[in-house]
Structures are given as structure tokens and as C-alpha cells.
Amino acid sequence: MTAQLIDGKAIGLKVQEEVRLAVAKMKEEHDYVPGLATVLVGDDPASNTYVGMKQRTCKKLGIRSIGHTLPADATQEEVEKLVSELNADPTVNGILVQLPLPGHLDEEAILNSIDLEKDVDGFHPINIGRLAMKGRDALFAPCTPAGCMRLLEEIGVDPSGKDAVIVGRSNIVGQPMAMLLQKANATVTVCHSRTKDLAGHVRRGDIVVAAIGRMEMITGDMIKPGATVIDVGINQKEDPTRKRGYRLVGDVDFESAKEVAGWITPVPGGVGPMTIAMLMQNTLRAAEIYLAKKS
């Protein structure tokens, strides 16, 4: 059996187009444009690239992008002061503090200081708490897991009643993914570095989400035939045939897994494009919340 590919690039573009149209409508009807402020501390090249991608996507969709860069030795007070100014700015709907922050900064305190209604990354403890509670909804779900849920929706895989196995329990991917799948009525198993018999757990998954950060760790023999496999991992694998000397691979061994799975995301072009698309959607939602409160 050869799995069907989940085209995250096309689905991500579809989400972007929905946001672009809604932004244009908001501008026409309310003379208001959503604004996303990015806060970059230091000059980490990967963080720079991510922030640049987010800013370019904002521009493409008609969202105002406000970039703030602080030096790597910025103090806790300086970062929190900036966040507090952005909290008070009515033209800023979303505040994105690019992680990871330099080690001397208290990441938790900075994320806590973001106004709940501007928490477009969905990392504020109250948003995470609401996500975890039955019958409550977070204002914003973290972008990568929300993107995975949209992929499932687009391919018509309803998690309800299914066994979902997530490998990884980080605050930004694994943990919120588990909460979202549970909200969608899946029976969820979360595996991590101390899990015994990982293969045995993964093999029971009708839906498998890999968010480990370990190259090609989930192999075809661990996959239940027909399962839906969502690969969040992004790893650089040495490849001398490529100009840059490497290619990107996921946490799933694509070649063996695609022979067993029913659906599978490629890397790149699977989950990656969904993360930015969902950030744009969250920013639009933040602007909608702002306008609803104002009227």
C-alpha cells in the first residue's frame, strides 16, 4: 500500500487565501487592518529567518507587521517594557516573542506578560489551561498543533473515537497536540523519552503525530496499516548531492512509512507551511476580537 500525501503546502496556501480575503473585508468594512508585532531578542540566524518569513507572509496577506529587535543582552525589564507597550497599542493585535530567548531571560514571565487577547502563539498559561479543560476553549491554539488539526480536517480524517498516538510532549507541539486531539474526541496516548515499548504504542495509532526532533525515528514497521501519519519533525540530513550539503527530513522514516500508512505528510511541505498559516489566522482572530470588543 502506498499512502496518500497530505499536501501541507497547498492547504497552507488555502488558509492564507482565506485570511487574505477576510483581512481585505475587514479593511473595507471597518477601515481597520490586523497588526502583528514580532519581538526578536538577539541575532540567532534561525530565529531571524523565521521572523523574516512571518513578516513577509503578513505583508502578502495585507496584515501590518511591526518588527522589534532587541540586543542579545537586553534585560528582563527591557523586554517586558516592550511587551507592555505593545499590549497597550490598539494597532497591535498579535504579539509574537520569537523563541528561544537568550538564556538569561525568564521566558515564562515574558510569555505571561503578553495580553491574553494578543497571545497569537497560544503559549500563555491561561490559553494552555483553557485548552486543557473540558468544555472550555482557548482564545488561540498553538500554531503547529492547530495546523496539524486543520490537515486532518482537510483530508476528512475525524479523530473522534480513534486512537491517536503522539510522540513528544513539548509545550509548543506534543502537549497542546494531545489536548486538541482529546478535545476532538480521540483516545490519546502521549509517548516521550521514558516510554517503554514505543513501537508497541505507535502501532496502535490510527493517527500518529511525531514531534521528537530525532531524524527518521518512526519507521514503517511501527505504523498500523492505513494510519494517518503527521510528521512535525524538521531535521537536517547530510546529503552531498545537494548544494547546501543537506536535505530536510522528518522524525518519520518517510520511505518505509509511506508503504504502510493511509495518509502521510512529507517533510518539507507538510506541517511546516501550516504553522505560519495558522499564525496569520490567529492574528486575524485577534483583530476580530478587538473589533468586537470595541463596538
Question: Quick check: 122 binds ligand NDP (CB under 6 A)?
Answer: no
- Say whether residue 172 binds ligand NDP (CB under 6 A): yes
> Would you say 263 or 290 has its CB closer to ligand NDP?
263
Q: Is residue 213 a contact residue for ligand NDP (CB under 6 A)?
A: yes
Q: Is the dihedral of CA 273, 275, 279, 285 positive or negative?
A: positive
Question: Is 121 an annotated catalytic residue?
Answer: yes
Q: Is 170 in the site for ligand NDP (CB under 6 A)?
A: yes
C-alpha cell at 274: 501550516
98 is an active site residue: yes
Catalytic residue among 119, 121, 206, 231: 121
Measured distance CA(141)–CA(177) in Å, rounded: 9
User: Shortest approach of ligand NDP to residue 170 CB, angstroms?
Assistant: 3
Using CB under 6 A as the binding rule, the residues of this chain from 228 to 287 that contact ligand NDP are: 232-235, 251, 271-272, 275
Stretch that binds ligand NDP, among 12-20, 41-49, 89-97, 206-214 (CB under 6 A): 206-214
Q: Does 173 bind ligand NDP (CB under 6 A)?
A: yes
* Residue placing its CB nearer to ligand NDP in the complex, 69 or 170: 170
Cα separation of 175 and 190, whole Å? 8
Which residues lie closer than 8 Å to 240 by C-beta, 6 or more apart?
A: none
9 scored as a contact of ligand NDP (CB under 6 A): no
Q: Look at residue 19 and give its three-state secondary structure.
A: helix
Beta strands in 98-192 (DSSP E): 163-167, 187-191
Q: Choose one: 19-27, 36-44, 78-86, 171-179; the region binding ligand NDP (CB under 6 A).
A: 171-179
> For residues 185-204, which are near ligand NDP according to CB under 6 A?
191-195, 198
In this structure, are strands 94-97 and 64-70 parallel, antiparallel, or unpaired? unpaired
The Cα-based distances of 154 to 4, 67, 158, 167 in angstroms read 13, 32, 10, 22
Residues, the chain, total? 295
Residue of 7, 16, 98, 251 marked active site: 98
Residues 165, 98, 117: CA angle, nearest 5 degrees = 80
Q: Which residues pair with 228 in a beta bridge?
A: 207, 263
How far apart, in whole angstroms, are the C-alpha atoms of residue 271 and residue 74? 33
Best CA proximity match to 178, nearest among 159, 154, 194, 197: 159
How many Å apart are CA 258 and CA 49, to the nearest integer?
Answer: 30
CB of 276 to ligand NDP, least distance (A): 8
- Taking the C-alpha atoms of residue 226 and residue 224, their distance in angstroms, rounded to an integer, is 6
Instruction: Determine if 144 is a binding residue for ligand NDP (CB under 6 A).
Output: yes
Strands 263-264 and 228-231: parallel
Minimum distance between the CB of residue 160 and ligand NDP, rounded to whole angstroms? 25
Site membership for ligand NDP, residue 93 (CB under 6 A):
no
Nearest position to ligand NDP, beta carbon: 170
Q: Which of 34/266 has CB closer to ligand NDP?
A: 266
Residue 214 engages ligand NDP in binding (rule: CB under 6 A): yes
Q: Which of 7, 16, 54, 118 is catalytic?
A: 54
The footprint of ligand NDP (CB under 6 A) covers: 144, 167-170, 172-174, 191-195, 198, 211-214, 232-235, 251, 271-272, 275
Residues tagged active-site = 54, 98, 121
